[in-house]
Structure 1
Amino acid sequence: MTDQALPASELYTEEFAADPYPAFARLRADTPVCPVSSPRFDSYLITRLDDAKAALTDPRLSKDLYGPGQHYLRIFGPNSEALNRNMLNADPPEHTRLRRIVSQAFAPRRIEALRPRVAEIVDGLLDRIIPQGDSELMHDFAIPLPMMVIGQLLGIPETDHERVLDWTQVIRTSGSSGRSPAEDRAAVQEAQLRLHHYLADLVQAKRAHPADDLISALIDACDHEGKLSERELVTTTFLLLFAGHQTTADFIGNATVALLTHPDQLELLRASPELLPAAIEELLRFDGPLPVASPRIATEDIEYQGVHIPRGSIVGVVINAANHDPAHFTEPDRLDLSRERGAHIGFGHGVHYCLGVSLARMEAQIGIGALLRRLPELRLGVPVDELRRLPAASPFRGLLELPVRFTARPAGPPAPIGNQRSPSTPSLVHSPEEQSWSSET
């Protein structure tokens, strides 16, 4: 790195965790390709939308962290390979091969068939909390919803959901536990190890007793078609599990806070629920759950915005900064649910857009729609500046807790508002080029 590298301690502050967008604006304006130095690894951050889209499709920026140079050691540590060597961290043709194996399971029509079940899960979770008048919404709703959905899709028994969630949350909340850095690393490694052993055991159980689920289909691709190795089978299962619930949970939390702190937009959506699909897009642009795309490695010396990026450098594309680029969005820091849909990259860009886009969109639409429909007078339970968030340096943008209050009433059938569609009504069909999600695959 050069002497001009920005120390991470100057960027990733408590103020940044609460609101990173002023810092992103400064980077976009002054150093759109910014070298950042940290104790774990140095990197270059790309913050303008045009550069971000170019970098996400640049073949000179590799996703193969396990190739020559073993860059994963700098980023994930020595025990990561058992779970993280998957299609997220691969380039074509390996990425293409692995992605093709699971793509049919996430086809929009197949996912659409899950809509009634997703609506049932949403209503079941809300039935538990609406008589109370208050809730910690991350624990009670935002986190279990996508876990229950992806768990059913994969074939994880419901009796195991809680402990699987416990392990994934140790990984997600790294740095926020109050433990020392060494203790925190040990806790994350232990959670990763337990999760790996659980998934390996689950694969063996499904091999003995296959079912109509995605893990059984992956086993068939491994055993009978020879398209997956045993290691790839487990790591692909982990990727689908973690990516399938983590970003959606954080997005539901972020979106709820955005709506509750913009009452004019909340009332607009309540009055015109047909805006919900477009609102999901704007809420993701406004405050997405994955601020920086998963890391890339420069395979040769490259240049962006006149900045030399040496071969072997780690490059981070700052999705949330690019999605607030004033060159592409009028008043980008303003939440506008009626905004004409623009070319945001909150849903990714290039070959690594997430397979789970259709599922994530559906969960967000049904989940947020039900919150507005079934929780009258929904409001924050604490001032917004007292919300507990993930650490500033976390790869995720999300909440540790989301206390809310609302008008309590007996649980019962949800009352429709406005022109709200029935949960069984098919959602809008999106074109292939729009299919991506903020967690890449």
Structure 2
Amino acid sequence: MAQPIVSLLDPEFHDDPVGAYARLREMAPLVPIGFPGGPPVWLITRNEDLKTALSDPRLVVDNRNVPGHHGPSLADQTIAVLDVPEKYQDDLRDYMAANMGLVDGKYHARLRRLVTPAFSVRRMKALRPRIEEISARLLDALARKGSGDLIEEYSSPLTGTVICELIGIDEADQPQVRTWMNDYADPDADTLTSLWNLAEYIKGLIDRRRAEPADDMISVLVQKGDEDGDRLTEAEIVSVVLVVVNNGHHSTAHFIPNAILKLLENPDQLALLRARPDALAHAMHELMRVANPVPTAGPRYATEDMEFAGVPICKGDALTGSLQSANHDPRVFSEPEGCDVERVLRRGQSHAAFGAGPHYCLGAALAHLEGEIALDHLMIQRDTLEIAGRLTYHEPFPGAGAQALSTFPVRL
């Protein structure tokens, strides 16, 4: 990379990430950036280029698929960085080898084909009454107190309970499983122990659902095969569940408070939705664009020397994309720093919050459904919610841009 490396430690990426990424976007479609302690990476800054990259078969998520690649696997790198105890290492390799987000080609297509029935449109639509019920119960409890933390007492238990029920976690086990799920993403918790406790629980649940199927995701994953009788292995099912927990629970739990904050900052848009509640379903696309808590797309590796967006790329180079930059690209979104819940895009244009291409998020419909119900219950059917203290954020990765709230005190 002959171009100067942009440091993500520059204060502007923390103080004004939208403005900082706007500067990079106009500098070039691909910008070499530096991660602390890591090699330079090409950052994709523009919306259409990012979606093209996520669909380009020459760019792979597993660097072992780069011809001539030598070096440790991602699992071995993870084991080294986290100093994973030996007793966990083989299982970790198995789970990462079966992670849909970390594999390419035919194996990824096979996993996707076998997992997709668990996220069918029918199954997602059938969840609405139960999500409405869970949301109303949590909100009633919070309203009786009069004040509390929106994340701890509403959005996290909402998405955690929905994921537990979707997976098929027995009701009596859900409090413990939700604790493991939350620890799994908490840098201050014993993440590895909680991860393995959760994995061992899932293994036991797989055995029970093989013997007695139910109407849940585990049963679908256990029973569903293709026309050739191909079925998911135990390690593949465990890996799918861990991905669902990470992407389906944590990201939506943080999207909800982000979206509420965005509506409170744009009272004209909130007033519009209150006047026309039927517009909320459409507004979710705009709110996903401006309130997405996930900062970047996973890295892709070039399998050959190539030109991308007019920039020469060498075989083995890593590329990643800023979702925040892509979602504020003025080439797609007029007045991108604003929030316009009535925004209508041209055919083929969209935000990038759920990715694109073969790895497009399987849980996108569920995230939309949960977010729509939460915002309806909190902000449309009620007009009393207000911030009741100082908001705090998780410590962001340098240069990430998007931040996840850690506390959101509210009064109802």
- In the TM superposition, what are the counterparts of 1:98-117 in structure 2 within 5 Å? 98-117=111-130
Q: Distance in 2 between matches of 1:211 and 1:227?
A: 17
How far did residue 208 of structure 1 move?
Answer: 3.9
SS of residue in 2 equivalent to 1:404: strand
CA spacing shift, 1:249–1:204, aligned 2, 3 Å: same
Contact in 1 for aligned 2:392/2:407 (Cα 8 Å): yes
Q: Deviations over 1:6-34 (max 9, x none)?
A: 23322xx5x64565211211111124312
CA spacing shift, 1:126–1:195, aligned 2, 3 Å: same
How far did residue 395 of structure 1 move?
Answer: 9.8
1:121 maps to which residue? Answer: 134
Match of 2:410 among 388, 400, 404: 404
Q: TM-score, normalised by structure 2?
A: 0.86
Contact in 2 for aligned 1:84/1:239 (Cα 8 Å): no
1:365 matched to 2:369? The reply is no
How far did residue 340 of structure 1 move?
Answer: 1.6
How far did residue 251 of structure 1 move?
Answer: 1.2
Q: Deviations over 1:247-284 (max 9, x none)?
A: 21121121011111222222221122111012111011
How far did residue 51 of structure 1 move?
Answer: 1.1
Q: Distance in 2 between matches of 1:240 and 1:7?
A: 33
Q: Distance in 2 between matches of 1:191 and 1:45?
A: 33
SS of residue in 2 equivalent to 1:93: helix
How far did residue 330 of structure 1 move?
Answer: 0.9
Q: Which moved more, 1:240-249 or 1:21-30?
A: 240-249
Q: Match of 1:399, as an amino acid?
A: L
CA spacing shift, 1:215–1:49, aligned 2, 3 Å: same
Match of 1:380 among 372, 381, 387: 387
1:8 maps to which residue? Answer: 8
1:143 matched to 2:156? The reply is yes
Q: Distance in 2 between matches of 1:6 and 1:162?
A: 44
How far did residue 71 of structure 1 move?
Answer: 4.8
How far did residue 131 of structure 1 move?
Answer: 1.7
CA spacing shift, 1:391–1:166, aligned 2, 3 Å: farther
SS of residue in 2 equivalent to 1:35: strand
Q: TM-score, normalised by structure 1?
A: 0.81
2:110 maps to which residue? Answer: 97
How far did residue 222 of structure 1 move?
Answer: 7.4
Q: Deviations over 1:393-425 (max 9, x none)?
A: 46974211111122xxxxxxxxxxxxxxxxxxx
- In the TM superposition, what are the counterparts of 1:30-429 in structure 2 within 5 Å? 30-42=27-39, 43-65=41-63, 67=65, 69=70, 70-73=72-75, 76-78=78-80, 80-85=92-97, 86-174=99-187, 177=188, 187-221=190-224, 225-341=229-345, 342-382=349-389, 386-393=391-398, 397-406=403-412
Give ranges in structure 1 of 5+ residues lacking alignment: 178-183, 407-441
Q: Distance in 1 between matches of 2:395 and 2:283?
A: 24
Contact in 1 for aligned 2:55/2:358 (Cα 8 Å): yes
Identity among equivalent positions (%) equals 38
Contact in 2 for aligned 1:40/1:74 (Cα 8 Å): no
1:27 maps to which residue? Answer: 24
Contact in 1 for aligned 2:18/2:401 (Cα 8 Å): no
Q: Which moved more, 1:191-200 or 1:284-293?
A: 191-200
How far did residue 66 of structure 1 move?
Answer: 5.8
SS of residue in 2 equivalent to 1:131: helix
